[in-house]
């Protein structure tokens, strides 16, 4: 499949994604059974994962979304980014940050730092994808769907310059 100028190939199917999400939701539901967690999805990329994950979470829970400034093309800008749109209080809440991908970890480090400053009772991360080889920050991702290699991916919320978010499978950049 071609997106903009690049060739991508199927990497993780929709069925694999949904099965992994069911497992994550079961673990999270058990861990937070008596905590009424606040899930915070990070827009735009997490919209599909947050939606499918929360449908499988079977305990009382709240969901809200935040945005951080954007990441153009295929490279991280390397700067910690501002957290926008957190309208409700997170003080004393058990928060689960929901992300499509933790790559360098710079975005997540910034988000966790700002939530801790705001007085959360606890914060953990649920990320569908994690690129362990790319981590430049010490970020503990408790709930990981798939650990993947360094290659750029699109689909299921993830974009390449704005395109590909609506794909229900995940595709990997073809290097040839
Ligand atoms: O670990 P990092 O290297 O910081 O990269 C991860 C971040 O990059 C992507 O977001 P992006 O800024 O592209 O915005 P988007 O969610 O709107 O696509 C992704 O959704 C994460 O938020």
Q: Where are the alpha helices (DSSP H) in the chain?
A: 14-31, 47-56, 106-117
What is the whole-number distance in angstroms between the Cα of residue 107 and the centre of ligand 1?
7
Model pTM score: 0.94
C-alpha dihedral over 36, 58, 67, 100, to 10 degrees? 130
103 is catalytic: yes
**Phi, psi for 146 (deg, rounded to 5):** -140, 130
ipTM score for this prediction: 0.98
Here the tokens at position 120 are 């959360």
Distance CA 51, CA 48 (A): 5
Domains with residue ranges and CATH for the chain: 2-173 (3.40.50.2020)
Question: What is the C-alpha end-to-end distance of the chain, expressed in Å?
Answer: 14
Q: Mind listing the pLDDT tens digit for each residue in 69-98?
A: 655 555 555 555 677 888 789 999 999 999
pLDDT of residue 125: 98
Q: Mind listing the pLDDT tens digit for each residue in 46-63?
A: 999 999 999 999 999 999
The low-confidence residues of the chain, meaning pLDDT below 70, are 69-81
What is the whole-number distance in angstroms between the Cα of residue 112 and the centre of ligand 1?
14
């Amino acid at each position: 499949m071609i997106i903009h100028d690049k060739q991508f190939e199927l990497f993780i199917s929709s069925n694999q994604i949904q099965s992994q999400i069911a497992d994550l939701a079961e673990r999270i539901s058990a861990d937070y059974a008596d905590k009424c967690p606040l899930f915070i999805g990070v827009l735009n990329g997490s919209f599909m994962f947050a939606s499918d994950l929360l449908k499988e979470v079977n305990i009382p829970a709240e969901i809200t979304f935040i945005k951080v400034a954007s990441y153009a093309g295929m490279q991280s800008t390397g700067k910690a980014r501002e957290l926008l749109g957190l309208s409700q209080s997170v003080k004393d809440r058990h928060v689960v940050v929901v992300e499509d991908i933790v790559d360098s970890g710079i975005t997540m480090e910034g988000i966790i730092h700002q939530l801790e400053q705001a007085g959360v009772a606890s914060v953990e991360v649920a990320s569908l994808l994690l690129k362990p080889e790319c981590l430049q920050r010490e970020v503990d991702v408790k709930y990981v769907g798939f650990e993947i290699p360094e290659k750029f991916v699109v689909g299921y919320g993830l974009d390449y310059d704005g395109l590909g978010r609506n794909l229900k499978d995940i595709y990997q950049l073809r290097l040839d």
